[in-house]
């Protein structure tokens, strides 16, 4: 995957690998998808899956991530992180155009949007 494509922080990769073990999906890749809604916002989804034709695989700290061709333009420049949303509550967040927005990669900067716990994506088995 090119540098302008989807990225995953070390914290997110570590938690996703642990989630794969907990959900009997160890060894499977994580599929990440995005779609634009009628109001122009982007909805994110992720789950463990097998590679398909048209997927663009990438490896992040031992985690293989698959992005299908329809989602690739929407996920370009997006960062998946695992951050503390509030004291003691951690969740996955998608940070669109993290580099352009000036987000501190891996910090869980306040610009993070699309937390899984808030309905921003489908579950990953975590």
pTM above 0.85, yes or no: no
Task: Give the confidence band of 103 by pLDDT, cuts at 50, 70, 90.
Answer: very low
**What digits encode the pLDDT tens for the residues 2-22?**
545 899 999 999 999 999 999
Q: Which of 53-67, 86-100, 103-117 has the lowest mean pLDDT?
A: 103-117
pLDDT at 99: 52
Residue 53 has a CB neighbour count (10 Å cut-off) of 6
Give the mean model confidence (pLDDT) for residues 45-68. Answer: 95
Instruction: Write down the mean pLDDT value for the chain.
Output: 81
- Judge whether residue 113 has pLDDT over 80: no
Contacts of 33 (CB under 8 A, 6+ apart): 44, 45, 46, 67, 68, 70, 71
- Judge whether residue 43 has pLDDT over 80: yes
CA dihedral sign, ordered 92, 93, 99, 102: negative
Beta strands 7-8 and 63-67: pairing type? unpaired
Distance of alpha carbon 32 from alpha carbon 46, whole angstroms: 4
Distance of alpha carbon 63 from alpha carbon 42, whole angstroms: 24
Q: How far apart are the first and last CA of the chain?
A: 25
**What digits encode the pLDDT tens for the residues 71-82?**
999 999 999 999
Under CATH, which architecture does the 7-118 domain have? Sandwich (2.60)
């Amino acid at each position: 995957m090119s540098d302008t494509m989807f990225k995953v922080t070390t914290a997110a990769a570590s938690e996703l690998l642990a989630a794969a073990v907990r959900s009997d999906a160890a060894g499977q890749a994580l599929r990440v998808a995005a779609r634009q809604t009628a109001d122009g916002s982007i909805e994110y989804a992720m789950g463990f899956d097998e590679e398909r034709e048209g997927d663009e695989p990438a490896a992040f700290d031992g985690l293989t991530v698959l992005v299908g061709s329809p989602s690739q333009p929407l996920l370009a420049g997006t960062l998946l992180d695992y951050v503390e949303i509030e004291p003691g509550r951690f969740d996955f967040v998608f940070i669109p155009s993290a580099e352009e927005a000036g987000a501190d990669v891996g910090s869980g900067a306040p610009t993070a949007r699309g937390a899984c716990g808030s309905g921003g994506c489908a579950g990953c088995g975590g």
